[in-house]
Amino acid sequence: MKQTSFGLALFAVVVAVGLGFVLARSYYARPAGTEHRTARQFVLYFTLSRVENPIIVLGDSIVEASSLPSGACGHPIINAGLSGASTASDLGGWLVPALANKRAFAIIVALGTNDALAPRPVTKQAFETSYASLLRELSKVTTHLFVLDIPAVEARDRMTPEMQRQVMATIREYRSVLPELAARNNATFLPLPEMTPPFTVDGVHPNAEGYRSWDTAISRGTARACG
């Protein structure tokens, strides 16, 4: 009996070790940076499963770090920010599965900063192409689609004056296509109010004053969606 118990215990240990090895291999075999993306998608799935007809704010770390109101005109507002996201991050393929065949009342897209901050920023044409592709995908799950302007960056912290000059030149190029891009894809463009420096904590992410202006633009979007 003791031998049988010992054998079963040994078998359980071997199985556990083997399973742990497989899971560990699977974890470390993932491409770098996918852990946060997967975790955020799970959070979105569980959050969206509890609500109907949400207003979704989709974007990068500026969205993820924001404090959005709980709702507008009876629709819950859901934070779908993903740190590091750009227009080429397949956010449609990330968000739509989390919706699980539901529709959103409205989607506000806030992207472009990471495209401009890349060591080799994409061209204006490539930015426009990837953004348009995202909007076409999102238009299948909502009838109210918005494109938020790209916030400015400022020379602060690790953002040197020269870096700020280069990044802002790219942002201005991207901004120039946003109103027409939105119109061509049945979306509404939301301009950002002027921000008075200092409006960031690190040159990129808004401080309290910067978020006040950013929140104003988001509120205009929700108000337009609510009619």
Domain spans, the chain: 1-30, 34-226
Closest CA to 225 of 148, 149, 151: 148
160/214 Cα distance (integer angstroms): 23
CATH homologous superfamily, domain 34-226: SGNH hydrolase (3.40.50.1110)
pLDDT per residue as tens, the chain (227 positions): 544 444 434 333 333 333 333 323 233 233 346 899 999 999 999 999 999 999 999 999 999 999 999 999 999 999 999 999 999 999 999 999 999 999 999 999 999 999 999 999 999 999 999 999 999 999 999 999 999 999 999 999 999 999 999 999 999 999 999 999 999 999 999 999 989 999 999 999 999 999 999 999 999 999 999 99
List the beta bridge partners of residue 59.
81, 110
Contact, 126 vs 170, CB < 8 A?
no
pLDDT of residue 34: 83
| Residues 99 and 146 sit within 8 Å (Cβ to Cβ) | no
pLDDT (0 to 100) of residue 15: 32
The predicted pLDDT at position 32 comes to 45
Q: Using an 8 Å Cβ cutoff, are 96 and 74 in contact?
A: no
Model confidence, pTM: 0.85
> Furthest-apart CA pair in the chain: how many Å?
79
pLDDT at 170: 98
Is residue 18 exposed (0-12), middle (13-18) or buried (19+ Cβ within 10 Å)? Answer: exposed
pLDDT of residue 214: 98
